[in-house]
Amino acid sequence: MSLAEQYVMDTEMDRSEGHITEDGRKIGAVMMEMRNITLKFGGVVAIKDISFDIRQGEIRAIIGPNGAGKSSMLNVISGFYHPQEGEVWYNGSRRAPMRPYQVARQGIARTFQNIALFEGMTVLDNVMTGRLNFMKTNLFQQAFWRGKAEREEVHNREFVEKIIDFLEIQAIRKTPVSRLPYGLKKRVELARALAAEPHLLLLDEPMAGMNVEEKEDMSRFILNANDEFGTTIALIEHDMGVVMDLSDRVVVMDYGKKIGDGTPDEVRNNQAVIDAYLGVAHD
Amino acid sequence: MPDQLLYAMEVLLNGLMAGVLYALVALGFVLIYKASGIFNYAQGVMALFAAMTLVGIMEGQVPFAHLINAAFGTDLHVFGWQLSGLIGILLTAVVMVVMAWAVNHLIFRHLVNQEPIILFMATIGLAYFMEGLGDLMWGADIKKLDVGLPQGINGWIDTTTFDAFGYGFFIDNLDIWATVIAAILVIALMIFSQYSKQGRALRAVADDHQAALSVGISLNFIWVLVWSIAGFVALVAGIMWGTKSGVQFSLSLIALKALPVLMLGGFTSIPGAIVGGLIIGVGEKLFEFAIGPMVGGATENWFAYVLALVFLVFRPQGLFGERLIERV
Ligand SMILES: Nc1ncnc2c1ncn2[C@@H]1O[C@H](COP(=O)(O)OP(=O)(O)OP(=O)(O)O)[C@@H](O)[C@H]1O
Ligand SMILES: [Mg+2]
């Protein structure tokens, strides 16, 4: 089957209204759809004519060797990069080119491959920034109409504490982030993203550089976030075991191209994917 | 009480009052620096420009009158109104916000991620541009500014201290007003940056641009905001200094007194700017009082800078900055 045929098949499937997974989670309709995205940096083609979609409620993995263009794809979704060609469809309508902060305000939160935290702030303050979009009172109200501003602040703090409990970082609430070890920083970054109550959560290698135990914790948090908050998640991950365990569907990229898309089982048995990972020469 | 001590106390008070204004101006620098890494050399010229604009608006001068008349052969000079200080200040504040927007959108938005020295050079360019723009809009002559603030010796303090110590303190009403207003603004700015939503966003931007974007903060909004605050601070400083000694070029140099304040307090520390401002204000007045007569006076011109230099040698990170220890 050619890629074009596969895409037609994919899109056909996409129009369906969703289904229930084996473990009883509800996967809904298509929420985010990338159509024929091409992204270039000068002569480097980071993404070449890629299409795929993300469904409501699912955990979608993006995998591929180093430099395949996975982070670039996440950056396109979150508005950090702007593709030269292609369309981004979100909640059923085509999205105009947007700046990252606008994407964030649409309910798309993210973490970064190289961790981007506010190093000078405490864990609590970091997570609190995730609530900025929920602070609706203006300066005037904050200064003179304490009632409303206070109610809002109390609600935001309660929600943040809930997230902090959820990710089991109560013990380091008041610790400046700069003092934390790598694994905990990753967790704080996830906390900040979850504090924004995102519809779609983008995670760029949330488990990179972690030991087995930390990876198990992180996997559990990701699954629970998906389950309890109903958050749709797209994640990039190198650890195949983790990917196969966590995800409902997997996109495989190699040299900027999509070489596979399907359930973990389908992808695992896809010859092109196997070749890419075994380093078979490219033509 | 011995006379010398009383004089010194009077000097100390005057120094504290000057220091509060230095602190306010230094805050203008600190906010921009924190949010965007730009050291705004144009802060002083902004104060001059604000004061000129205020005078122009209050007296109903036609902006660019000279240029317009030369181009169209007209003979415009004034609109013929005379506005009160308060309305003039409000309108000038609007002008400063518009300018903040223009400065960000025409210049600094395009210089994101450039080297600090490039940003600094851009602010030098901006300073000269604004100086020229101010002259072109309102004329280069020395202007008198009077927004209705009381001036002259405060009689109550004079008589009270005279009755108590047998020596009347000379405290200028204008200085009292300047101190009160600057102190209120300094406190308001601290509360704003610590507790408001925009203040939180500002600290986030100061810390990490990428992370700030990812939580939905518009960098441009924050940048326009800090330039607006700096513009407003410049306006207040321009009013105080302009009222005292006329609106003229030298006004733009006083604001650079904030430089040693920043060296003392650290470029990113709000408490540092406040404490630094007070130290410089008190230090230069006391030094002039105690040492000035021995060296022929005029020490206020250089004392602050030398103090900052000495300070730099021993504590380069400023009073409140964290000590940078190189990892080897
Ligand atoms: N901002 C950029 N400027 C120039 N080239 C870039 C930029 N971002 C990515 N690239 C290039 O695009 C290609 C894909 O990079 P990308 O970071 O998306 O890969 P990746 O799949 O995330 O790799 P890794 O697994 O190493 O994180 C690489 O060749 C990279 O050098
Ligand atoms: Mg990557």
- Given an 8 Å threshold on Cβ–Cβ distance, is B207 in contact with A128? no
**Residue B268 and residue B257: Cα distance in Å, rounded?**
17
A257 lines ligand 1 (CB under 6 A): no
For ligand 1, atom 18, the nearest C-alpha belongs to: A69
Torsion of CA B92, B97, B101, B102, to 10 degrees: 10
> Which amino acid is located at B3 in the chain?
D
- Give the tens place of pLDDT for each residue, B11-62: 999 999 989 989 988 988 988 998 888 999 999 999 999 999 999 999 999 9
pLDDT tops 70 at residue A3 = no
Q: What is the pLDDT of residue B87?
A: 95
**Residue A16 and residue B133: Cα distance in Å, rounded?**
63
Q: What is the pLDDT of residue B327?
A: 52
Chain B partners of A99 at a C-beta cutoff of 8 Å?
Answer: 213, 218
Residue A70 C-alpha to ligand 2 middle, in angstroms?
6
- Give the tens place of pLDDT for each residue, B162-205: 998 888 888 999 999 989 998 999 899 888 888 888 999 999 99
**Residue A172 and residue B216: Cα distance in Å, rounded?**
25
- CATH for A3-107+198-278, among 3.40.50.10540, 2.60.320.10, 3.40.50.300, 3.10.20.30? 3.40.50.300
Of all residues in chain B, the percent with pLDDT exceeding 70 is 97
A68 lines ligand 1 (CB under 6 A): yes
> Within 13 A of A95's CA, how many CA atoms are on the CB side?
25
Q: What is the pLDDT of residue B256?
A: 81
Confidence of residue A214 (pLDDT cuts 50, 70, 90): very high
Q: Where in chain A is the domain with CATH 3.40.50.300?
A: 3-107+198-278
Q: What is the pLDDT of residue B269?
A: 85
Q: What is the pLDDT of residue A5?
A: 54
Question: Contact at 8 Å (CB) between A67 and A279?
Answer: no
Residue A69 C-alpha to ligand 1 middle, in angstroms?
5
Mean pLDDT (chain A) is 89
3-state secondary structure B103-145: HHHHCHHHHCCCCHHHHHHHHHHHHHHHHHHHHHHHCCCCECC
- Chain A contacts to B (CB-CB under 8 A): 78, 80, 99-102, 104-105, 109-112, 116-121, 125, 128-130, 132-133, 135, 137, 139, 142-143, 192-193, 196
Mean pLDDT (chain B) is 90
pLDDT tops 60 at residue A14 = no
Of all residues in chain A, the percent with pLDDT exceeding 70 is 89
Nearest-by-CA chain A residue for B198: A139
pLDDT tops 60 at residue A12 = no
Q: What is the pLDDT of residue A140?
A: 67
Measured from the Cα of A72, ligand 1's closest atom is 18
A69 lines ligand 1 (CB under 6 A): yes
Q: What is the pLDDT of residue B145?
A: 93
Ligand nearest to the CA of A72: 1
Q: What is the pLDDT of residue B267?
A: 84
Ligand nearest to the CA of A69: 1
pLDDT tops 70 at residue B323 = no
Q: What is the pLDDT of residue A276?
A: 83
DSSP A30-65: EEEEEEEEEEEETTEEEEEEEEEEEETT-EEEEE-S
- Give the tens place of pLDDT for each residue, A59-89: 999 999 999 999 999 999 999 999 999 999 9
Q: What is the pLDDT of residue B328?
A: 53
Q: What is the mean pLDDT of residues B118-128?
A: 96
pLDDT tops 70 at residue A198 = yes
- Give the tens place of pLDDT for each residue, B63-99: 998 889 989 988 888 888 889 999 999 999 999 999 9
Nearest-by-CA chain B residue for A192: B215
Residue B234 C-alpha to ligand 2 middle, in angstroms?
45
Residue A67 C-alpha to ligand 1 middle, in angstroms?
5
Q: ipTM score here?
A: 0.88
A75 lines ligand 1 (CB under 6 A): no
pLDDT tops 90 at residue A38 = yes
Cβ burial B253-289 (10 Å sphere, 16+ → b, else e): ebbbbbbbbbbbbbbbbbebbbbbbbbbbbbbbbbbb
Ligand nearest to the CA of A256: 1
Torsion of CA A248, A254, A255, A257, to 10 degrees: -60
Both tokens assigned to B278: 């007070």
**Residue B86 and residue B324: Cα distance in Å, rounded?**
46
- Give the tens place of pLDDT for each residue, A129-183: 999 988 877 666 666 767 777 888 889 999 999 999 999 999 999 999 999 999 9
Chain A partners of B216 at a C-beta cutoff of 8 Å?
Answer: 101-102, 104-105, 132-133, 196
Q: What is the pLDDT of residue B321?
A: 65
